[in-house]
Structure 1
Amino acid sequence: MTIELNVPGVDGLTEAVGVLREWQYEGAPTQLHPGDIGWFWRAGAEATAAAVRTWSRSGRILAVGLLDGPDLLRLTTAPDARQDEELARQLVADVTDPARGVLPEGRVNIEAPPNTLFPDLLGAEHGWPLDDPWTPLRRDLTAPVRTPDLRIEEVGPAQADAFAALLGAAFEGSRFTADSWHTTASGVPFADARCLLAYDDGGDAVAAVTVWSAGPGRPGILEPMGVHRDHRRRGHGEQITLAAASTLRDLGASSALVATPSSNKAAVATYESAGFERHPETRDRYRAA
Structure 2
Amino acid sequence: MSERIVRPYRGAEDLRKMQALVSAAYEQTDMRIGDVAWIVRVHTHRELGLDIRLWEDGGALVGWTFFQSSGGFNLFAAPRAATDHLIDEMLATVEGMAREAIAAGDAMSSVSTYGVLPRRSALDRALASGLERNGFTRDGGDGVLAKELTTLVEPSVPPGYLLATVDTPQRIIGRVEAHRAAFAPSEVTRKMYERVRRTWPYRQELDQIVETESGEVVAFCTAWIDEENAAGLLEPVGTHPNHQRRGLAGAACRAALIALRDAGARTAQVAFAAPRARALYESLGFTLAYDDHSYTKALS
Whether the TM-score (by the shorter chain) exceeds 0.5 is: yes
For 1:115-134, what per-residue CA distance to the aligned partner results, in whole angstroms no more than 9, with x for missing partners? 331331220x2331102321
Report the AA paired with residue 131 of structure 1.
D
Task: State the alpha-carbon separation in 2 of the partners of residues 45 and 10 from structure 1.
Answer: 15
Q: 1:222, CA displacement in angstroms?
A: 1.6
Of 264, 276, 281 in structure 1, the residue corresponding to residue 286 of structure 2 is 276
Of 174, 177, 194 in structure 1, the residue corresponding to residue 186 of structure 2 is 174
Residue 147 (str. 1) matches residue 146 (str. 2): no
Q: 1:272, CA displacement in angstroms?
A: 0.7
Name the structure 2 match of 1:243: 255
* Partner SS for 2:264: coil
Task: State the alpha-carbon separation in 1 of the partners of residues 136 and 237 from structure 2.
Answer: 31
Task: State the alpha-carbon separation in 2 of the partners of residues 55 and 193 from structure 1.
Answer: 34
* Partner SS for 2:272: strand
Report the AA paired with residue 281 of structure 1.
D
Report the AA paired with residue 202 of structure 2.
F
Name the structure 2 match of 1:75: 75
Q: 1:137, CA displacement in angstroms?
A: 1.0
Give the conservation status (yes or no) of the 8 Å contact 1:53–1:102. no
Task: State the alpha-carbon separation in 2 of the partners of residues 77 and 43 from structure 1.
Answer: 21
Of 132, 135, 153 in structure 1, the residue corresponding to residue 140 of structure 2 is 132
Q: 1:274, CA displacement in angstroms?
A: 1.0
Give the conservation status (yes or no) of the 8 Å contact 1:45–1:187. no
* Partner SS for 2:226: coil
After superposition, the Cα gap between the structure-2 partners of 1:193 and 1:134, relative to the gap in structure 1 and judged at 3 Å, is farther
Give the conservation status (yes or no) of the 8 Å contact 1:167–1:226. yes
Report the AA paired with residue 138 of structure 1.
A
Residue 165 (str. 1) matches residue 164 (str. 2): no
Residue 209 (str. 1) matches residue 221 (str. 2): yes
Name the structure 2 match of 1:288: 298
For 1:152-178, what per-residue CA distance to the aligned partner results, in whole angstroms no more than 9, with x for missing partners? 211124321221222133221223333
Name the structure 1 match of 2:131: 122
Count residues with an aligned counterpart. Answer: 282
Deviates more, 1:149-158 or 1:274-283: 149-158
* Partner SS for 1:175: coil
Alignment of 1:1-289 (within 5 A): 1-20=2-21, 22-23=23-24, 25=26, 27-31=27-31, 33-39=32-38, 40-42=40-42, 47-82=47-82, 84-98=83-97, 106-111=109-114, 113-114=116-117, 115=121, 116=123, 117-123=126-132, 125-141=133-149, 143-150=150-157, 151-158=162-169, 159-190=171-202, 194-199=206-211, 205-261=217-273, 264-289=274-299
RMSD: 3.1
Q: 1:229, CA displacement in angstroms?
A: 0.7
List runs of 5+ in structure 2 lacking aligned partners: none
- TM-score, normalisation: structure 1: 0.83
For 1:19-50, what per-residue CA distance to the aligned partner results, in whole angstroms no more than 9, with x for missing partners? 2453253x44322x222232231468973454
Q: 1:223, CA displacement in angstroms?
A: 1.6
Task: State the alpha-carbon separation in 2 of the partners of residues 258 and 47 from structure 1.
Answer: 28
For 1:55-90, what per-residue CA distance to the aligned partner results, in whole angstroms no more than 9, with x for missing partners? 2211111123222444111122224345x3443343
Report the AA paired with residue 71 of structure 1.
G
* Partner SS for 1:132: coil
Give the conservation status (yes or no) of the 8 Å contact 1:52–1:65. yes
List runs of 5+ in structure 1 lacking aligned partners: none
Q: 1:269, CA displacement in angstroms?
A: 0.4
Q: 1:225, CA displacement in angstroms?
A: 0.7
Give the conservation status (yes or no) of the 8 Å contact 1:76–1:112. no
Task: State the alpha-carbon separation in 2 of the partners of residues 77 and 164 from structure 1.
Answer: 32
After superposition, the Cα gap between the structure-2 partners of 1:43 and 1:279, relative to the gap in structure 1 and judged at 3 Å, is closer
Task: State the alpha-carbon separation in 2 of the partners of residues 48 and 212 from structure 1.
Answer: 22
Deviates more, 1:231-240 or 1:179-188: 179-188
After superposition, the Cα gap between the structure-2 partners of 1:232 and 1:63, relative to the gap in structure 1 and judged at 3 Å, is same
